Amino acid sequence: MAVAPASRLGDVRQARELLRNLVGKELKVRYKQSALGFVWSLVTPLLMTAIFTVVFATFLRIPVEDFASFFLAGYLVWQFYANSVNASVGAIVSNGSLIRKVYFPREVIPLSLVLAQAFHLCLALLATAPFFLLQRGNFLPYLPAILIGIVLLVAFTAGMSMVFAALNVSFRDLQELTQVIFLAWFYGTPVIYPLYLVESTAQAWVKGLILANPMTWFVQLFQTALYGIPAPIPEPGQPGAPPPGWPSLTTFAVCAAWAVGTLGLGWWLFRRRAVTFAKEV
């Protein structure tokens, strides 16, 4: 018999200690016997920024000012999202023995992985703050926008993680397909190219597809608050890209709609399928 949503929500609240323990375990296991430990939260995005800057700014000459800071602002968001869902997609199956033996709210498994990645996102944002301050100017007045963005991004990611985790129990190939899906999704998100380039050069259906991509809006939110509005490399004597600022109300509204809708869908789907997890894993 299906459990009422309010009852399952109460179960999750009662499982806060388990959730904290799982988050702590995930953080410890990830960096066990690692010389750099949590420093990898910073090293990985900086290495990716260096590689993509050389390839896309130097060789391919993507026309955007301060490409490194532009890319980093979007990549931190993408890295959190992709790492969370990729970690969650096989989480129910890999914890099959525990699920068969013990009852607990199954939601805490993907939620713990998302929260662990959120911890890394916050560390990375703190560590890279001086870089953005030096490259793009003072973004500190827009910290409220960044904090709201983190909450909305975590909610959206939690919903997607529950969807992928639940579906993978019955469709095990999804875990392998996720890598391909997210590779294509990455290039369909304006992380390595500015949205204005799509608007000015791409066909209407391509622009529509990119604007329908929820990650486009989350990336735009963080890019605006940390980097500013992307603009072409200025000619000598011409003003550069606008400094960090407030994301538009439209951006906030679209991100909020995706966050609430996806979290609701993920919770509903996960709840419906959770009753058979013990049999299927």
Tally of CA atoms within 13 A in the half-sphere of 4 that contains its CB: 3
Residue type, 6: A
| Local structure of residue 57 (DSSP, 8 states) | I
Contact 44, 168 (CB under 8 A): no
Residue 238 makes CB contacts below 8 A (sequence gap 6+) with none
Question: What tens digit of pLDDT does each residue of 92-141 get?
Answer: 999 888 888 888 889 999 999 999 999 999 999 999 999 999 999 999 99
Report in angstroms the alpha-carbon separations of 69 from 5, 23, 66, 83, 228: 43, 30, 6, 21, 10
Nearest to 244 by CA among 120, 108, 121, 146: 146
Chain centre to alpha carbon of residue 104: 26
Is the pLDDT at 186 greater than 90, yes or no?
Answer: yes
Q: Name which residue leads in pLDDT, 141 or 238.
A: 141
User: Region 49-67: what's the mean pLDDT?
Assistant: 90
Is the pLDDT at 2 greater than 50, yes or no?
Answer: no
Nearest to 230 by CA among 61, 73, 77, 82: 73
Q: Which contacts of 60-64 are long-range, i.e. CB under 8 A and separated by 24 or more positions?
A: 62/192, 62/193, 62/194, 62/197, 63/194, 63/197, 63/232, 63/233, 64/193, 64/194, 64/197, 64/230, 64/231, 64/232, 64/233, 64/241
Is the pLDDT at 55 greater than 70, yes or no?
Answer: yes
Question: What tens digit of pLDDT does each residue of 9-44 get?
Answer: 555 566 788 888 889 988 888 777 666 667 777 888
Predicted model pTM = 0.90
